[in-house]
Amino acid sequence: MNNNQIFPEYVSVSDLQRNYADILAKMKKASKPIFILKKNKLEAVIIDPLFYAQLIHQHQDTEEKIALNAIGIYQKEKKAKKLKKLSKASDLFV
């Protein structure tokens, strides 16, 4: 694996102000986020729109898998008659 893919790119706010076009071109070429630091603390992250769309898609896929898994567990427990009727929310923690 290339070290370029492992380690994120860090840029200071002042560097971003001075070299905005170069930094953006570098981000697009590398297809990875650029972390913006202000006084050595993370201030912001710049990402390519396609990368952002991929993140959103992955997040939606994960949520869908979790929901489908929960439905499967519910159906299995309902079939096994393991479901209980609760009268109050605190019964969940007993």
Structure tokens at 63: 């949520």
pTM of the model as a whole = 0.62
Distance CA 29, CA 24 (A): 9
Per-residue pLDDT of the chain (94 residues; tens, 9 = 90+): 454 556 778 999 999 999 999 999 988 888 789 999 999 999 999 998 888 999 999 999 999 999 999 999 999 999 999 888 888 988 888 7
